[in-house]
Amino acid sequence: MSALLMAASLALAAPKKNAEPLVWNTSYVAQGLRPGFKIGLDYPLAESRKVRDSRRPGKKTVRRALVVEPSVMAWHHWGNHTPITAGAQLIYRKGFGNGRHRELFVGQGATYAINAGRTYSFDDSGELQGSALAGNLMSATSVGFGLGRDLSRRKKGGPDLTWYVRPTATIWAPYNSGVAPVLTIELGVRRAWSQR
């Protein structure tokens, strides 16, 4: 399932003639005090705009977008493991004229958690063999929300960057003989997602 979602995301994100440039995301990921990183591709599937009356004099523009984000993420748990996740998120994003946005998302991926230290296993003859990348392969299903701001909208000539914060809850399965909930937070930047 996660492989199909990832393949579909990459196919949709393939460069097209006269298309807008692809938008990359880079973020610091923290699982508790454990550091990591995430790199993703922000690709809009659909976008809409509405101009409404504002409480203040004038109008306000509300932007909505459905976005797919294929990504790779890793973080390190000292003395335990290093999980590496490849997957994709489906994001509903709502942006406002002042550059602020909020989003909700669901994701699906595959996580391979590489064991820390040396891991050994027995071969067919009963000899003990070392295994450098021994670990556990799991499905990773996630849900979360995000808040951020497009810096280019704060003032004319501002940087074409958007900062964002994303708390995320993920379920790993199977983890040992059950499932494991994992909470992370992303602090990241990407190029402005909206078209001006």
CATH value of 2-13+22-52+59-121+134-190 in 2.60.40, 1.10.3470, 2.30.30, 2.40.160: 2.40.160
- pLDDT tens-digit profile, the chain (196 residues): 444 444 444 444 444 444 566 788 899 999 988 999 999 998 889 989 888 766 666 677 888 999 999 999 999 998 889 999 999 999 999 988 778 899 999 999 999 999 887 777 777 887 887 777 888 899 999 999 999 998 876 666 556 788 999 999 999 998 877 899 999 999 999 875 444 4
- The closest alpha carbon to 182, from 101, 107, 93, 91, belongs to 107
- Whole-number Cα distances in Å, 152 to 20, 25, 66, 80, 169: 17, 16, 21, 41, 30
What are 17's two structure tokens? 């003639």
Number of H helices, E strands in the chain: 1, 10
Buried/exposed code over 76-94 (b: 16+ C-beta within 10 A; e: otherwise): ebeeebbbbbbbbbbbebe
**Per-domain residue ranges of the chain:** 2-13+22-52+59-121+134-190
Cβ distance 134 to 156 under 8 Å?
no
pLDDT at 4: 44
